[in-house]
Chains A and B, each alone.
Chain A
Amino acid sequence: MAQKRIVKEYSELQKNPPLGMKISLPSEADMHQWQILIDGPKGSPYEGGVFTLQLSLPTEYPFKPPTLSFKTKIYHPNVTNDDKGSMCLGMLRADEWKPSSKIDAVLGFARRLLSEPQPDDAVEGGIAREFKENKKEFIKNAKAWTKQYAKK
């Protein structure tokens, strides 16, 4: 069932790709690993950058949520600042995930998160504090990182 649904969602997303995203499979044989390229949203400090994300679908999908991680380094309160680049919040959390949620929504969620970080659900406390208390500095840093790591 998981496989069928994944294929269905994938082909739908190929037909109707979400704005500013490119979805591909690193390996045709493995439908559970997707590669997503997201353009930094306009008006956000990530504008101009392209971020590579990895979407992993568990075998229990859709009963368990997919995991989404940034392969491109990003200065963001909700993304871990390590080589994993993992994020776990909102609908991606196991206890908030609903099997009826679709990957389309997950990707939309990720994109919106770039525009509107959620410092209260932060994994990077320092960045979250900066975001709340010194927005200017945050924007400066995020832009610098985008330039350095997420160049087109």
Chain B
Amino acid sequence: MSAQSYDTFILAFSDPASISPNPQRARIPANLSFEIFDDSHLRTLSTNNGGGDIEGLLYVPDLDPSDPCVNISTKYVPSNVTRFSDLPPVQYQYIAFAPWISAACTKSYLAAAQGNTAFMFYLPDNGNTTPPPVNDQTWNLNDGGQWKAQYKFPVYAIPGSEGTTTMQQLAQYSGNSSNDKIDSILSEFQFDSSDYVRLYTSFGTSGSNNLPTLWAFLLIVLGVVLLLIGLTSVTMHYFQRRHRRALQRRVENGEVDLETLGIKRSHRMPQAEIDKLPKYIYVPTNDTPDDKGLGQSSTPSSETASDNHTFFSQSSCTICLEDFIPKTTEVRSLPCHHIYHPHCIDPHLASRSSRCPVCMARVLPTKNEPITNAMVRAERRLRERQRLHGVSADGIDGTTWLTNFRRQLERRRRVFSAPGATSDTVQPTRSQIEMNAVAGRAVSSPLPTHTPTVMSGAQTEARTGEGRPPPADVTARRAHMNRRLSRMRGPERTLEDEEAERWARLPRWRRAVGTVFPGFG
């Protein structure tokens, strides 16, 4: 096991051999004795370990007297240093300690280690720097690294200066009470005079040093992942925007009619667009309502000019059913000339539909409606389907056409028999119009070209001449085909409904993915 820190200190403990009633051990504070704690200069040379704490009493192994290393070592190892025989033979773990002088002597020391938990070396000339890395030549024992497998304990190396100090201390705390220092410690901590005071070393295998590097690594990995996600997201957003713009261009050029494709049936309006709709002070029509509606009476000559008043026959707001108060109530007029309280119609336009609640006429010019990703998808889907079904301007076969015709007839019948479709209609029979906006906005020609009529989606379709055979000229044919396609789409539902439903069905994580990676799935 690799270690990041070690702590060598003085430990006083009862003699395990004695029959003391309550054996004790005490860590002697550094100010009374000695301690080295280092969490930044430890080098792990070999990691063999079955697990558990790596700690124990420190000693220098006894070399064979005939070993030349004994002589070589005398320079570093004092004669009265703590030996294995100076330690109690039971109850404790042991950590061997020796200078790394040469390959041969290290081998001797390793071989002489007894009952080992670990071996701690130091390079006497290494100063106070971290010993060289594991693969450095310094640690070469000329056996191809085999020694690491041979000795089943971890091997560590500490800086030279720390090793030298430790060696000196190991000589001081080796014997029994013949030593003043040991004597005073034993008596101060109320030990028996025959008890031990020795160096004890403990390695920190899960030291704090390791975590930062691990965290840093994880953070880097996380950062890279986030960066990749971000880049992908940006790219996907970019492409989605390009698709939206492309579709927008095609809509503007008249190549695609989203309306007939059934892609946009209702849409929300941006507040800015709503604010552009004119507001007037309500004034009721004061002459008799004209049955023929707008057609005749709204000619400029019959208008009564007044600065900020508008005359309307619609006397109440169809949303809240409240009556408008003449010359007091402010009303918002939609392009279809239906009027509402701004506080009633604005939220509707902003959050539900950009169509007039009464006549369902679109409030926003088609061109100005924003293109959404969903529209791009739907348009592509329709084009795809068009390709698969082989529907082309020429490929209209009689049977489908007949089926459509029949369905159309049926639809029309249903619409006309459906009560309510026309009963709740409020037609603005505007007899007098004055179009000076309250906001002082110039309003373009107020002249409607035809009476706004109630038209449900089905009726609109019924009016589009579906019952006739495909027209001959190309643009009409294309429109015809688009209508056919819109029929293939199935039941009348707005894209927003579909999108909202689809979205609601998705689990939360899929929604998140969809937001980050638009167009994914």
A interface, CB within 8 angstroms of B: 1, 4-5, 8-9, 62-63, 90-91, 94-96, 98-102, 105-106, 108-109, 112, 116, 118, 120-121
One of A91, A94, A95, A99 near B319 (C-beta < 8 A):
A99
Q: Is B17 an interface residue (CB 8 A)?
A: no
Q: Is B358 an interface residue (CB 8 A)?
A: yes
Residues of A within 8 A of B417 (CB): 116, 118
Counting chain A CB atoms within 10 Å of each CB, the highest count among B410, B424, B494 belongs to B424
| Cα separation A94 to B353 with both chains bound (whole Å) | 12
The chain A residue with its CB closest to the CB of B343 is A1
| Cα separation A36 to B391 with both chains bound (whole Å) | 50
Do A121 and B414 touch across chains, with their CB atoms under 8 A apart? yes
Q: Is B506 an interface residue (CB 8 A)?
A: no
Do B457 and A91 touch across chains, with their CB atoms under 8 A apart? no
Residues of B299-350 contacting chain A, CB below 8 A: 318-322, 343-344, 348
Do A101 and B424 touch across chains, with their CB atoms under 8 A apart? yes
Residues of B within 8 A of A9 (CB): 321
One of B358, B360, B410, B420 near A91 (C-beta < 8 A):
B420
Known: A4-B320, A90-B420, A109-B419. A118 touches B414 (CB 8 A): yes
Q: Is B26 an interface residue (CB 8 A)?
A: no
Interface class of chain B by DSSP: loop
Counting chain B CB atoms within 10 Å of each CB, the highest count among A1, A9, A112 belongs to A1
Residues of A within 8 A of B357 (CB): 62-63, 98-100
The 5 closest A-B CB pairs, nearest first, are: A100-B318, A99-B357, A91-B420, A100-B358, A101-B424
| Cα separation A85 to B213 with both chains bound (whole Å) | 67
Do B456 and A96 touch across chains, with their CB atoms under 8 A apart? yes
One of A5, A106, A121 near B321 (C-beta < 8 A):
A5
Min CB gap A57→B, angstroms? 14
Q: How large is the interface on B (under 10, 10 to 19, 20 to 34, 35 or more residues)?
A: 20 to 34
Residues of A within 8 A of B457 (CB): 95-96
Do B420 and A105 touch across chains, with their CB atoms under 8 A apart? yes
The chain A residue with its CB closest to the CB of B338 is A100
Do A105 and B423 touch across chains, with their CB atoms under 8 A apart? yes
Residues of A within 8 A of B423 (CB): 105, 108
Residues of A within 8 A of B348 (CB): 63, 99
Residues of B within 8 A of A108 (CB): 419-420, 423
Residues of B406-446 contacting chain A, CB below 8 A: 410, 414, 417-421, 423-426
Do A102 and B419 touch across chains, with their CB atoms under 8 A apart? no
| Cα separation A8 to B410 with both chains bound (whole Å) | 37
Residues of B462-521 contacting chain A, CB below 8 A: 492-494, 497
Q: Is B380 an interface residue (CB 8 A)?
A: no
Known: A109-B419, A112-B419. A1 touches B493 (CB 8 A): no
Do A120 and B426 touch across chains, with their CB atoms under 8 A apart? no
| Cα separation A8 to B344 with both chains bound (whole Å) | 16
Q: Is B250 an interface residue (CB 8 A)?
A: no
Residues of B372-418 contacting chain A, CB below 8 A: 410, 414, 417-418
Do B492 and A95 touch across chains, with their CB atoms under 8 A apart? yes
The chain B residue with its CB closest to the CB of A112 is B419
| Cα separation A9 to B318 with both chains bound (whole Å) | 12
Min CB gap A66→B, angstroms? 12
Min CB gap B60→A, angstroms? 86
Counting chain A CB atoms within 10 Å of each CB, the highest count among B321, B357, B410, B497 belongs to B321
Min CB gap A120→B, angstroms? 6
Do B421 and A102 touch across chains, with their CB atoms under 8 A apart? no
Q: Is B352 an interface residue (CB 8 A)?
A: yes
Do A109 and B318 touch across chains, with their CB atoms under 8 A apart? no
Query: Could you list some 15 contacts between A and B, CB below 8 A?
Result: A1-B344, A5-B320, A8-B322, A62-B319, A90-B419, A95-B265, A96-B421, A98-B357, A99-B318, A99-B319, A99-B357, A100-B424, A108-B423, A112-B419, A118-B418
Known: A102-B321, A120-B414. A95 touches B493 (CB 8 A): yes
Residues of A within 8 A of B318 (CB): 99-100
Known: A5-B321, A120-B410. A106 touches B426 (CB 8 A): no
| Cα separation A98 to B338 with both chains bound (whole Å) | 14
Do B418 and A90 touch across chains, with their CB atoms under 8 A apart? yes
| Cα separation A7 to B469 with both chains bound (whole Å) | 51
One of A99, A106, A116, A118 near B420 (C-beta < 8 A):
A106
Residues of A within 8 A of B319 (CB): 1, 5, 62, 99-100
Residues of B within 8 A of A105 (CB): 419-420, 423-424
Do A102 and B418 touch across chains, with their CB atoms under 8 A apart? no
Residues of A within 8 A of B265 (CB): 95
| Cα separation A8 to B319 with both chains bound (whole Å) | 12
Q: Beyond A1-B319, A102-B321, list 12 extra A-B contacts (CB 8 Å).
A: A62-B357, A63-B352, A90-B418, A91-B420, A94-B497, A95-B497, A98-B424, A99-B318, A102-B424, A105-B420, A105-B424, A109-B420
| Cα separation A95 to B457 with both chains bound (whole Å) | 9
The chain B residue with its CB closest to the CB of A108 is B419
Residues of A within 8 A of B420 (CB): 90-91, 101, 105-106, 108-109
Do A91 and B321 touch across chains, with their CB atoms under 8 A apart? no
Min CB gap A58→B, angstroms? 12
Residues of A within 8 A of B352 (CB): 63
| Cα separation A63 to B318 with both chains bound (whole Å) | 11
| Cα separation A62 to B340 with both chains bound (whole Å) | 14
